[in-house]
Amino acid sequence: MPHARADEPAAGWKAGVASVVVTPDESTWMAGYASRDKPAEGKAHDLFAKALAVQDAGGTRLVIVTTDLIGIPRPLRDTVVQQVRERYKLPPEGLLLNSSHTHCGPVVRIGKSALYALDDEQARRVDRYVAELQEKLVRVVGQALERLEPAQLSYTHARAGFAMNRRLPTDTGPQNSPYPEGPVDHEVPVLRVENPDGKLRAVLFGYACHNTTLAFFQYCGDYAGYAQEYFEETHPGTTALFLMGCGGDQNPYPRGTLELAKLHGRTLATAIDAALLPKPRPVRGPLRTAIAEESLDFAPPPDRAELERQAQSQNKFEKRHAEVLLEELRETGKLRTNYPYLIQAARFGDDVTLVALAGEVVVDYAHRLKR
């Protein structure tokens, strides 16, 4: 949410960027579509984790980590936060983890999943991958912090139009289909990071849309991965980092082919270029960060008898879900009744506020926050 005045210089910032490949070394089960029936068969391009570290004149630091992954599960996040705090003295509110939500990345789970039918070997591969990913995420944070150098920050934005609401109202409830009349957020916000001499060092950009152009069996960052790739190709030496916006109810349209994923990526990269054309609006300090946890109550859970009935279901998803809950009952004696929901915010002076909400956030929240 920008409020910068174009005539005011931004001073006192330091910034550092780093990236690491997080493509699995072996074929693992892919995340996003429960209907998949086999593991990955190669890659269309590499998946990355990237870190942008910023520090204001008073020494307050923030590291934003973007990943070409379906998400970061809470146990993994908690471990990364703890290790980053121990190694680099960065508090939890100073680390923001974001995933592009590509549906062509690896399963990133700790523990049993109701969504994916993993055999023992695939479960071991996922465990190995998550262990490697954990260390890579911690290390990329450290590398970005080590590279902190004087920088200029500015905010700009443009638009891209390929996202469309996918919650089509019907007489029997919402259907996952194109809904042209539904709410969307076509804004492409861009945080521009430059050296003191004006050379572009990094762009942090966002878009509110699922990365679901593709549903094949190759690792791929979908449109967000291609947008970063294309922008970096045309701006050598610059790191492009993608932040997923409030796109929980948005799909890219049209969709279904690699060519369309590349097209949407090119559209988004072009939007970043368009955003960089106007005179930049400086972003000033100080930097303020905050994190909070809100308990969200679940609907009343089924009892053991109902779960045992569901565990005999012919619906494989209902069956697996019931089995996971029954295992939780056996191990802990009870089912969880609430979810600890994370909310983060980073405020850059009075110029830009970044709000991060956990999970698959629908577009209405973006509109409310902007108001």
pLDDT per residue as tens digits for the range 250-298: 999 999 999 999 999 999 999 999 999 998 899 999 999 999 999 999 9
* Boundaries of domain holding 39: 13-293+341-370
Per residue in 132-165, pLDDT tens? 999 999 999 999 999 999 999 999 999 999 999 9
Cα atoms in the 13 Å half-sphere on the side-chain side of 356? 24
33 with 157, same domain: the answer is yes
- The whole-number average pLDDT for the span 310-339 is 91
Residue 131 lies in a domain: yes
Asked whether residue 226 is domain-assigned, the answer is: yes
Is the pLDDT assigned to residue 7 strictly greater than 70?
no
Q: Within this chain, do residues 319 and 262 fall inside the same structural domain, yes or no? A: no
User: What is the β-pairing status of strands 175-176 and 163-165?
Assistant: unpaired
Residue 133 placed within a domain: yes
154 with 53, same domain?
Answer: yes
| Same domain, residue pair 198 and 77 | yes
**Which positions ≥6 away from 286 have C-beta within 8 Å?**
56, 57, 58, 60, 349
Between β-strands 163-165 and 250-252, what pairing exists: parallel, antiparallel or unpaired?
A: antiparallel
**What are 159-211's pLDDT values in tens digits?**
999 999 999 999 999 999 999 999 999 999 999 999 999 999 999 999 999 99
Provide the mean pLDDT of the chain. Answer: 94
For residue 188, tell me if it sits in a domain: yes
Question: In a 3-state reduction of DSSP, which class is residue 300?
Answer: coil
Asked if 225 and 314 sit in the same domain, the reply is no
Q: Could you give the CA distance from residue 264 to residue 351 in angstroms, rounded to a whole number?
A: 29
pLDDT at 91 exceeding the cut of 60? yes
- Together in a domain, 125 and 82: yes
In the chain, the amino acid numbered 366 is: A
8 Å CB contact between 100 and 93? no
Average pLDDT score over residue span 230-246:
98
DSSP state of 127: H
Supply φ then ψ for residue 12, to 5 degrees: 90, 0
Confidence of residue 110 (pLDDT cuts 50, 70, 90): confident
**What average pLDDT does the segment 75-96 reach?**
98
DSSP per residue, 74-109: HHHHHHHHHHHHHHH---GGGEEEEE--BSSSB---
CA distances from 262 to 186, 201, 316, 320, 324 (A): 18, 24, 34, 35, 38
Tokens of 365: 């929240």
**Least confident piece of the model among 30-34, 85-89, 114-118, 232-236:** 114-118
Domain co-membership, 228 together with 103: yes
Among 270, 253, 248, smallest CA distance to 158 is for 270
pLDDT for 97 beyond 50: yes
Domain assignment present for residue 7? The answer is no
Residue 4 has pLDDT above 80, yes or no: no
Per-residue tokens: 157: 């934005």
> Out of 77-86, 106-115, 140-149, which region has the weakest mean confidence (pLDDT)?
106-115
Check whether residue 193 and residue 314 sit in a common domain.
Answer: no
Q: Are residues 125 and 26 in the same domain?
A: yes
Do 104 and 129 share a domain, yes or no?
yes
In a domain, 2, yes or no: no
Contact (CB, 8 A) for 22 and 48: yes
Verify that 109 and 88 share a domain, yes or no. yes
Q: In whole angstroms, what is the distance from residue 122 CA to residue 311 CA?
A: 22
User: CA–CA separation, 305 vs 235, rounded Å?
Assistant: 60
* Inside any domain, residue 362: yes
Q: Are residues 309 and 173 in the same domain?
A: no
Mean pLDDT of 23-29: 97
Residue 359 placed within a domain: yes
Q: Which two tokens stand for residue 355?
A: 């709000």
Structural domain count, the chain: 2
pLDDT at residue 6 tops 70: no
| Residues whose CB is less than 8 angstroms from the CB of residue 140 and which lie 6 or more positions away in sequence, other chains included | 18, 19, 20, 49, 50, 51, 65
- Split at pLDDT 50, 70, 90, the class of 11 is low
Question: Whole-angstrom Cα distance, residue 171 to residue 334?
Answer: 37
Mean pLDDT of 44-59: 98
Distances 177 to 64, 180, 249, 364 between C-alpha atoms, Å: 33, 10, 10, 18
Backbone CA torsion sign across 204, 208, 214, 215: positive
